Amino acid sequence: MARDERRDGDTPDPRATPQATWGGRFEEPLDAVALRYSASVDVDKRLAPEDIRGSLAHVRMLASRGVVSEAEADTIAKGLETIAVEVAEGSFVWDAAREDVHMNIEATLTERVGPVGGKLHTARSRNDQVATDMRLWTREACRATAARIDRFLAVLAVRAANTVDVLLPGYTHLQRAQPVRLAHHLLAWAEMLDRDRGRLLDAARRMNESPLGCAALASTTFPLDREMSARALGFDRPMRNSLDAVGDRDFLVEAVAALANCAVHLSRISEELVLWSTQEFGFVTMSDAYTTGSSIMPQKKNPDMAELARGKTGRVVGDLVNLLVMLKGLPLAYNRDMQEDKAPVFDAFDTVDDTLDVLRGALATARFDAARMRAALRDGFADATEVADWLAARGVPFREAHHVTGRLVGRCVAEGKVLSELPLDAFRAEHEAFDESIYAALDLETAVERRDLPGGPAKARVRAAIAELRERLDARGVDTDAVAAADGASSEGGA
């Protein structure tokens, strides 16, 4: 179909003249379908604050080098600042015919301040411009998500402090294994998320280099001060290679990989909340604020927020795959494929941020059933390892002790008993080393307290771990008590 024979409704906006966007090389406007296909402003307008920040730093640097006059820079800066206010207020009018956030802002600026607005793009390409914008946005997004993780950790610290005396089975293969403290379990979640926080901040540090001034791919002939614009934008330094600066998005891959890892951890936490809230487990009751009912079964109280958190993890993992596949076949330097980097990055951050917030609230308001947790310890032979360890401590090779204990468990299963209900004669029938002290070793509290090593569930170790977590949060400026109070974290030790 010839460009002058388009169907009704296909004609591009008349403002989108070829010269307005692409200059004199093009004689016809872009086909309407191609324009709609390639426009990204609906997604990348989110970068407007960063785009304006980068432009302000760029024009001030140009003025310092005499590329534009101070008066011209002032005019451009005032125009950009006005646009920034309109963007913040939501009154700025976005035009899809101008394709992206950069052209929308620059074209509007030029309409308002005149031809001098066209000087803003001197010694700059949209290639280094968008790379700068994305580094600015993602750097702050990493820090914001890290702060959300800290608020999550604050709730875990408070819930752990109030559940130190609550015992429950620890599981392997989803089979009851050994007794631990609920606080110890909550602190395991905290360790997982704290590492995710570290990965995000590591990514933020590594991406903190400025592409601005690298232009399309080969830098520019203008006498730029790249160090000045880098400092103005809070970057540590200019990037060292212009091709790399505009041609890679590994900083986004790294950030989204950290988010995917975090989402997986949140999914595992969610899975345990789903399991624990079933009648079969009965370890936790979720607040009405974070559960829903059934459209047909009035008795149901479904842990939907935890299930959604588990399900949304697939989106974040998909966002990471999206980025990796988009990049894997690209030659240097910039390719238009890279326009597709923004949607998965924004989605990954939004999804993880929302999941952190909703699960934080769910955990803060959940009620743990200490009695149900302790009852689960009685029925699962979680004290069996204590018998094997008791024998091994008296010189019996552990493999032999393991077999002896296994036979004792088998007898209990056959007789419908637990180990502590067996008479001493039954123990001695399996090994002559047994004496009355075996019963003290089978006490659950004793079993946990004997694991008094760094990283273990003994009470003193758990209390020290909680104190250390709170110290870390305090050093980051997190008021643990205030966060917990705002989220409604329970002060009841497991009720």
Phi, psi of 40 (to 5 degrees): -125, 5
Listed in sequence order, the DSSP H helices in 335-479 are: 342-365, 370-379, 384-392, 398-415, 424-430, 437-441, 444-449, 459-475
What separation in angstroms does the CA of 277 have from each of 168, 173, 204, 379, 387? Answer: 14, 19, 37, 19, 31
Just list the catalytic residues.
173, 294
Residue 401: DSSP 8-state: H
Find residue 169's DSSP bridge partners.
Answer: 179
Of the CA atoms within 13 Å of residue 397, those in its CB half-sphere come to 3
Angle in degrees, CA 83, 129, 256, rounded to 5: 105
C-alpha neighbours within 13 Å on the C-beta side of residue 267: 15
The answer to whether 148 touches 353, Cβ cutoff 8 Å, is yes
CA distances from 141 to 255, 259, 349, 404 (A): 9, 11, 7, 56
In 10 A of CB 24, how many CB atoms? 7
Place of tokens 């890279």: 338
